[in-house]
């Protein structure tokens, strides 16, 4: 340890020049000193971290395919019964409000999702509901189709 103390005190300018040179070499690995461009690149994507065939990987790939990117948010509404007129109306309001947000590209919920069904050899595409069903039979139908 004495040799280090003596090195620092006897040759401080030389030591600072060596440290400066080492810093420039290390910085050159991260930054192109001629152009100022970063050489260090960070990939924040999960696709390189998740192993092939894994359940989480399959969910991630499905979500990317569904939403077009890996930047998505899953919002869960917890309710005793979501199929009440009040809750279905609230869901419509929340969906509409999220769709108006400038940074939101797409919102999918029971309030705006399409129901694709085959009836007598034809494909029928319709919303699960236009207005929240007020009668019990309409709520049962919406629950069943959802």
pLDDT at 96 over 80: yes
Strands (E), the chain: 114-119, 122-127
Predicted TM-score (pTM) of the model is: 0.52
Q: Is 36 left (phi over 0), alpha (psi -120 to 50) or beta?
A: left
DSSP state of 11: -
Give me 61's structure tokens: 């790939």
- Residue 4: helix, strand or coil by DSSP? helix
In a domain, 49, yes or no: no
The count of domains in the chain is: 1
In a domain, 15, yes or no: no
CA–CA distance, 71 with 106 (Å, rounded to integer): 11
Query: Residue 100 sits in which domain range?
Result: 80-145
pLDDT at 97 over 90: yes
pLDDT at 93 over 80: yes
Residues 32-62 pLDDT 10s: 878 888 888 887 777 777 888 888 888 888 8
- Please report, to the nearest 10 degrees, the dihedral formed by the alpha carbons of residues 109, 110, 113, 118 taken in order: 150
In a domain, 74, yes or no: no
């Amino acid at each position: 340890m004495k040799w280090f103390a003596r090195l620092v005190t006897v040759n401080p300018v030389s030591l600072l020049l060596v440290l400066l040179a080492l810093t420039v070499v290390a910085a050159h690995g991260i930054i192109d000193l001629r152009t100022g461009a970063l050489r260090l690149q960070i990939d924040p994507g999960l696709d390189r971290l998740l192993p092939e065939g894994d359940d989480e990987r399959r969910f991630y790939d499905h979500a990317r395919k569904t939403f077009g990117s890996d930047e998505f948010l899953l919002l869960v509404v917890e309710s005793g019964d979501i199929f009440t007129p009040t809750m279905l109306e609230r869901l419509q309001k929340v969906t509409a409000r999220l769709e108006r947000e400038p940074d939101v590209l797409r919102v999918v919920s029971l309030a705006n999702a399409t129901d694709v069904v085959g009836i007598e050899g034809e494909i029928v595409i319709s919303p699960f509901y236009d207005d929240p069903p007020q009668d019990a039979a309409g709520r049962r139908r919406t629950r069943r189709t959802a």
